[in-house]
Structure 1
Amino acid sequence: MASIIGAMLVPSGLAYLLFALGLLAALKQRWRKLSWALLAVSGAITMVFSTGSVATALLSPLEYEYPAIHETRPHQGIKHIVVLTGYAADDPDMPLTGRMNWASAYRVMMALQLQHRGCNACDVIVSGEPTAAKIMGESLIALGLPKERLILETDSLTTADSAQNLQSMLREPFFLITSAGHLRRSLAVLHKQGLHPVPVPTDYQGPKDWRDADEHPSPQSLMTSDLAVHEYVGMLWYRLKGAI
């Protein structure tokens, strides 16, 4: 239920809902004015949140809150890399690395980059949804991670679940890899569990300055707006639940 409500609160979900209500209202003569109003608001939401500058203004404060990690030398002593899962499909007709979506692929690449830049003795813990964790783990091994360095934590369906399950596994600081826009919420739930993550952002969706974004409406920008609103709503929900 929470996921359905969340899907309706992001710009595209809200626009689709208003559009559907507008079509239903058009079936009744006395509701025609309401129908036009609903359809107009749906179109306005789609247009505004599909604009690159709006999408960037929403997501950029989350994506660029923490600096990128280019090398591990300033963090000597860290022995674990935690990679939160994105999405993956367990479809044998696809090539292994092609089963991951872009978010999962960027996170896998970032883990390997840390491994190759001074953290080659680090264990890599992939935490999250079972299918995605399995595919991401197999991809890491296929791309060069030693099998003995991989640990799968597959009992977490949400970021809050990952924080709870990692709490018993990690006592010392560790690298946390996830999409840049997802870091604020991830760090908050991990800190709530008394953990000490070092943020490693990846999978950026846009420039830092909204004035550098493309002004033309596009599906990509609407998706970026959805990601940003999803994070803000998620943080509010976690705060209400006491998870952060």
Structure 2
Amino acid sequence: MLFTLKKVVGGLLQPLPLLLMLMGIGLALLWFSRWQRGGKAVISCAWLALLLLSVQPIADKLLLPLESHYPTWQASAAPVPYIVVLGGGYTYNPAWAPSANLIGNSLSRVTEGVRLYHANPGAKLIFTGAAAQGNPMTSAQTAALVAESLGIAREDIITLDTPRDTEEEAMGTAALIGQQPFLLVTSASHLPRAMVFFQAQGLHPIPAPANQLAITSPLNPWEKIFPSAFYLSHSERAWYETLGLLWQRLKGSETPPEAASH
């Protein structure tokens, strides 16, 4: 019940639902009350916020501090025995290409896990994630199918099918591999929060960010000035992870130390 409540409240607090609710309140004030100025002010502020959050310079400036916390993993001298790839959005339609079942951040996480697998001979790939409501396949199983379709041997894949969130993924990993070193693969923006959960279990994850979104390389001028749902999603990601970090601190977790270079 608490897990569902957390997801519902967190979803409603995302920029698009929140700003649409504010616009709805403003419209209600205009249509059904005498608070005409108040209604106009609420609608105007919500519209302006939606506009600003949908343009590239602002959206990516909000996201970049989260994503730049850890560098992309580079090959080291000693191979790592385990690579843990955290679950994300997915569905399962057997008629689709395997990779089409991984939604949003998930495909980038899996492909980065596959890259790291090839850079660490003998490593095992661990995919995490429970089943979405009503789905016959878990997030971990769906990711494993994609990895197999990319040439990874099934015997080198382990699935953790019960964790529903990052904290449970950390507990499941601790029970499976104990104190052995491992690469932790998740979205770059999610990695600071994930490191806290895994370190809280007494583990020693090596950060391996994937799915970087904040663009710092050159873009066409029009891509920077026109509002886009694509860049709004970057703002949503920044806001989601910021809320997650605040909730984590309220629960008593500490910020992880700076990662060593790898």
Normalised TM-score (structure 1)? 0.91
Equivalent residue, structure 1, for 2:209: 201
User: Do 2:79 and 2:123's aligned partners in 1 also have CA atoms closer than 8 Å?
Assistant: no
d(CA) in 2 for partners of 1:29 and 1:109? Answer: 54
* Letter matched to residue 95 of structure 1: A
d(CA) in 1 for partners of 2:203 and 2:142? Answer: 26
Give the aligned length.
241
* Letter matched to residue 126 of structure 2: I
Higher helix share: 1
Deviation of 1:243 after TM superposition, in Å, equals: 4.6
d(CA) in 2 for partners of 1:34 and 1:23? Answer: 10
d(CA) in 1 for partners of 2:110 and 2:65? Answer: 24
d(CA) in 2 for partners of 1:220 and 1:68? Answer: 23
The answer on 1:54 being equivalent to 2:58 is: yes
RMSD: 2.0
Structure number with higher relative contact order (C-alpha < 8 Å, ≥ 6 residues apart): 1
Equivalent residue, structure 2, for 1:160: 167
Deviation of 1:209 after TM superposition, in Å, equals: 7.8
Equivalent residue, structure 2, for 1:148: 155
The answer on 1:82 being equivalent to 2:84 is: yes
d(CA) in 1 for partners of 2:211 and 2:94? Answer: 25
Structure 1 residues 185 and 104: alpha-carbon distance in aligned structure 2, compared to 1, 3 A threshold? same
Equivalent residue, structure 2, for 1:128: 129
1:23-38 to structure 2, matched below 5 A, reads: 23-38=27-42
User: Do 2:117 and 2:124's aligned partners in 1 also have CA atoms closer than 8 Å?
Assistant: no
Equivalent residue, structure 1, for 2:98: 96
Deviation of 1:33 after TM superposition, in Å, equals: 2.4
State the percentage of identical aligned residues: 29
Match for residue 173 of structure 1 among 181, 188, 192: 181
Long gaps (5+) in structure 1:
none
User: Do 2:71 and 2:209's aligned partners in 1 also have CA atoms closer than 8 Å?
Assistant: yes
Normalised TM-score (structure 2)? 0.85
Long gaps (5+) in structure 2:
132-137, 255-262
